[in-house]
Chain A
Amino acid sequence: MNPSANSKKYLIIGTALIAIVIAFFLIGLVWTPYGINSTDSASKFMAPCAEHIFGTDNLGRDVFSRCLAAARYTLLVSFAGVAVALALGTITGLLAGYFGGLLDKVIMVLSNSVMCFPGILLALVAVAVFGPSLYNVIWALGLVFAPTFARVYRSSTIELLGRDYILSAKVMKVNPIRIMFVHILPNLMSQILPAVIIGLANMTLFESGMSYLGLGVQPPAASYGKMLADAQSYMVTAPWLIIFPTLMLVCYILGLYFISEWVRTSMRGGSK
């Protein structure tokens, strides 16, 4: 099997899966067939049919409409969370890798101790202390994920330090900040891109788990995790209530994994 053809397949399937989620998000922004919280006692627990293609839940809410509307929170939390983590991780990782010594030791010990808390626990505690809200979820998850990025940045920065162009920049007394952000950072893209994509996927896993526990995205907003939590009591009689939200989450996460697989293999191929 030709490896590049195989990794192309990953790209195509991954993009298709992500495209489904993005389509849901875009449609959900402008139009939903029913109101996401409009209840209808006449049509409770309707199995998927022509009027309600994903069925209805225990309050008669249209599952399809809710799936459309929930996509925005999945995307928002994953992208905003990764942005926070990336910003923190970039700065600390570059500083630690570039300056080394005591600063490096301190940053690494700090990031190691953050990593010692099981990730979901730290996020839950932050939300518990500061109250459950979308923004608290985002920065809590960003904080939890920052050490992962910091490590990638640190080790790749150290690898680059011995290169001639960095040495000559140092000789020319270029400002360290400029060396870090103009000379080193652009060269780390190949290491950081897979980490970002995987980060998006993991962020979604965490967010859905927190929303499931009722500590993530708060009602009246619809989120896949909360939909699953609400559906739990009825899942045997109304399995569509858990199947569709799960499918949406899997679409997004699996799509991201496939794309990261493609990025990884194509970059490895490029470096050879």
Chain B
Amino acid sequence: MGSTVRSALIKICEFLLTALLVSFFTFVVFSIIPGDTARVMLGPNASEEQVQALREELGLDAPLATRYISWLGDAAKGDFGKSISFGQPVGELIASRLPVTLGMSLIALIFVLVISFPMAAFCSRNPGDLTDKTLSTAGHILFAIPPFALSMMLILLFSKCFHIFAAGRYTAPSANFGAYLVSLLLPSFCIALPKIAMTFKFLRASMIEYSRGDFVRTAKSHGLSDLRIMLRHIIPNSAVSSVTVISLVLSDILGGSLIVEQVFNLPGLGRLLLSAISRRDFPLLSGIVFYLAMITVLLYFLSDVISAMIDPRIRDGRAST
């Protein structure tokens, strides 16, 4: 029990340290902009007074360390300052775009889990047969198409073959929740497809490996049905080893949604990010970056916690990870 508490404490410290470093990186990147930040933000046509006013508003005259501490203190309270181009608090802007990005990521994750597990379980039973080969090759190809190109291909397919033009129609969840889900379905699927291929490949290999294990042979000799062996013995083991992969997949999904949103013309964080980049709105930009990075740090932490919860070997620090 003592080792459990100890490893939990170490994990929490690592989590906090990483979060702090990530915040520091975010801050530093926006502080080492070549030239005068205020001048860069306002463009070459701004007057000297405007630049000076912005410098004061952003507190650019204070030393770096002071600025970092006050920025971190504000960020912890959810206050990322005010967006230059929108004139709104950055926190509010991000919150207004979250339903799209988070909704899409969540639906994509569900797609990944619901499709890759059964597919891998099915293929691992007879590795090397025709179904397995077809699905594995299809997985390779899906993995090789950039998500945004895949989205275009799917839009093309849907509009040419089924005469449904799915892009560019977004309904807010507060207006009509059903329509909101439907509008996110195809984009989520496009983000999910390459990740399904990746998760499938990993799971298939791990399931084949486990199905050769001694415990599976014992279970077979006890007369357990194949289905029961798969559900009770192979899948739980693979699930433990797949937690880390899935947390990586989730961070990729978040990144991928930033681009795929553009293809489907959805008002998510990706669009906000791009407009922040093109208008050189650094408070907004750093807010988005900080927010997304924190979500990822949290995801990795949660994946550690979940692995520890479902696998006693990791919980007691016995596994050599």
A109 at the interface (CB under 8 A from B): yes
- Which one, A39-47, A80-88, A228-236, is touching chain B? A228-236
Q: In the docked arrangement, what's the CA distance between A220 and B159, Å?
A: 31
Contact B152 A118 (CB under 8 A): no
Whether A113 contacts B18 by the Cβ 8 Å rule is yes
Verify if B178 is at the interface (C-beta below 8 Å from A): no
Q: Quick check: is B25 within 8 A (CB to CB) of the other chain?
A: yes
- In the bound complex, residues from chain B placing their C-beta under 8 Å from that of A135 are none
Q: Chain B 19-37 against A: per-residue CB contact (8 Å), 1 yes, 0 no?
A: 0011001000110011000
Q: Is B203 an interface residue (CB 8 A)?
A: no
- How many Å from the CB of B25 to the closest CB on chain A? 6
A125 touching B149 in the complex, CB below 8 Å, given contacts A130-B34, A250-B141:
no
Chain A residue at smallest Cβ distance from B30:
A129
Name which of A116, A125, A213, A235 has the most chain B CB atoms within 10 A of its CB.
Answer: A116
Q: Are A118 and B255 in contact (CB under 8 A)?
A: yes
Q: B254-290 vs A: 1/0 string, CB under 8 Å? A: 1110110011000000000110110010000100010
In the bound complex, how far is the Cα of B18 from the Cα of A235, in angstroms? 43
A254 CB-CB contact with B under 8 Å: yes
CB distance from B7 to the nearest CB of A (A): 17
A110–B259 CB distance below 8 A: no
Interface-located stretch among A21-29, A167-175, A187-195, A201-209: A201-209
A26 → B minimal CB distance (Å): 22
B156, A118: Cβ atoms under 8 Å?
A: no
Q: Which residues of A contact B140 (CB under 8 A)?
A: 254, 257-258, 261
Whether A121 and B258, one on each chain, are in contact in the complex, defined by CB atoms closer than 8 angstroms, is yes
- Among B45-53, B64-72, B89-97, B291-299, which stretch is in contact with chain A? B291-299
- Is B128 within 8 A of A109, CB to CB? no
The residue on B at minimum CB distance from A210 is: B259
B153 touches A109 (CB 8 A): no
Cβ distance B268 to chain A, nearest Cβ, rounded Å: 13
| Contact call B277/A215, Cβ cutoff below 8 A | yes
Is B17 positioned at the interface, with any CB of A under 8 Å from its CB?
A: yes
In the bound complex, do residue B252 and residue A118 qualify as a contact, i.e. CB atoms below 8 Å apart?
Answer: yes
Interface class of chain B by DSSP: helix
Q: How many A residues touch the partner, as a band? A: 35 or more
Contact A118 B292 (CB under 8 A): yes
Contact with B along A175-189 (1 / 0, CB 8 A): 000000000000000
Question: CB-CB < 8 A to B149: which residues of A?
Answer: 208, 228, 242, 245-246, 249-250
The reply to whether B277 and A128 form a contact with Cβ atoms under 8 Å apart is yes
A83 to B285, CA, bound (A): 29
A253 proximal to B (CB < 8 A)? yes
Among B141, B160, B292, which residue has its beta carbon within 8 angstroms of that of A236? B160
Closest residue of chain B to A114, judged by CB?
B25
- Of A110, A125, A231, the residue contacting B29 (CB under 8 A) is A125
Contact A124 B293 (CB under 8 A): no
Whether A34 is near chain B, meaning CB under 8 Å from some CB there, is: no
* Other-chain contact of B25, A113, A213, A231, A245 (Cβ < 8 Å): A113
- Of the candidates A117, A245, A261, the one whose C-beta lies within 8 Å of that of B292 is A117
Q: Which residues of A contact B18 (CB under 8 A)?
A: 109, 112-113, 116
Contact B152 A121 (CB under 8 A): no
Q: Is the CB of B255 within 8 A of A242?
A: no
A173–chain B nearest beta-carbon distance, Å: 32
Query: Closest approach, in angstroms, between the C-beta of A71 and any C-beta of chain B?
Result: 16
CB distance from B21 to the nearest CB of A (A): 4
B145 touches A246 (CB 8 A): yes
Pick the contact of B289 from A114, A117, A201, A258 — CB < 8 Å? A117
Report if B122 contacts A (CB, 8 A). Answer: no
Q: Which residues of B have CB within 8 Å of A128?
A: 276-277, 280, 285
CB distance from B317 to the nearest CB of A (A): 18
- Contacts of A1 on B, CB cut-off 8 Å? 128
Given contact pairs A112-B18, A119-B255, A125-B285, A212 touches B262 in the complex (Cβ within 8 A): yes
Q: Most chain-A CB neighbours within 10 Å: which of B21, B128, B274, B277? A: B277
Interface residues of A (CB under 8 A from B): 1, 109-110, 112-114, 116-121, 124-130, 201, 205, 208-209, 212-213, 215, 225, 228, 231-232, 235-236, 239, 242, 245-246, 249-250, 253-254, 257-258, 261
- Residue positions of B touching A, CB distance < 8 A: 17-18, 21-22, 25, 29-30, 33-34, 128, 140-141, 143-149, 152-153, 155-156, 159-160, 165, 251-252, 254-256, 258-259, 262-263, 273-274, 276-277, 280, 285, 289, 292-293, 296-297, 300
Q: Can you give 27 contacting A-B residue pairs, CB < 8 Å?
A: A109-B17, A116-B296, A116-B300, A117-B293, A119-B255, A121-B273, A121-B289, A124-B258, A128-B276, A128-B277, A128-B280, A129-B33, A201-B144, A209-B146, A225-B148, A228-B149, A228-B152, A235-B155, A239-B156, A242-B149, A245-B149, A253-B145, A253-B146, A254-B140, A254-B144, A257-B140, A258-B140
Known: A116-B22, A236-B165. 14 other contacts (CB 8 A): A112-B18, A116-B18, A121-B255, A127-B277, A129-B30, A205-B146, A212-B262, A215-B277, A228-B148, A228-B149, A235-B152, A236-B156, A246-B146, A249-B145
9 closest residue pairs by CB, A with B: A118-B255, A254-B144, A128-B277, A253-B144, A113-B21, A120-B255, A246-B149, A116-B297, A208-B146
